[in-house]
Amino acid sequence: MNNKLKILRAMRNWSQAELAERLDVSRQAVNAIETGKYDPSLPLAFKLARLFGMPIEEIFDDGQKGHADD
């Protein structure tokens, strides 16, 4: 799954370790999410969305277009 985590982090001038601290996860977890090697759980995705102040779907892109009921 693609995501904008690296861009959002860079915009705030945070290191991976700093973002990890704010999320209370390991630096490896942030790196794995940023590089698309690991998709976070829903609770962690919500935590990210709250931290960056935007909806989950603006941070993560599953490559599907339109709404689920389309």
Partner 1 sequence: MTDAETPRPRRPMSPRRRRYWTSLGFAALIGGLIGGWLVVDQPEGRGLTEMLATGSLTPGFAIAAALCWTIGLAIAMILYHRAIDDHEEHAWLWASTAGWYALMFPAPVWWVLHRAGLAPSPDAMLLFLLTLVVNAVVYLWLKFR
Please, what is the minimum distance in Å from the beta carbon of residue 11 to partner 1?
Answer: 15
Contact 21/14 with Cβ under 8 angstroms?
A: no
Write the CA distances from 64 to 2, 57, 70, integer angstroms.
Answer: 11, 11, 11
Number of residues that bind partner 1 (CB under 8 A): 15
Element holding 3 (H helix, E strand): strand 2-3
- Determine the interface stretch with partner 1 among 1-9, 19-27, 50-58, 60-68 (rule: CB under 8 A): 19-27
Kindly state whether residue 18 participates in binding partner 1, applying the rule CB under 8 A: yes
Question: Which residues are near partner 1 by CB under 8 A?
Answer: 18, 21, 24-26, 28-29, 32-33, 37-38, 40-41, 43-44
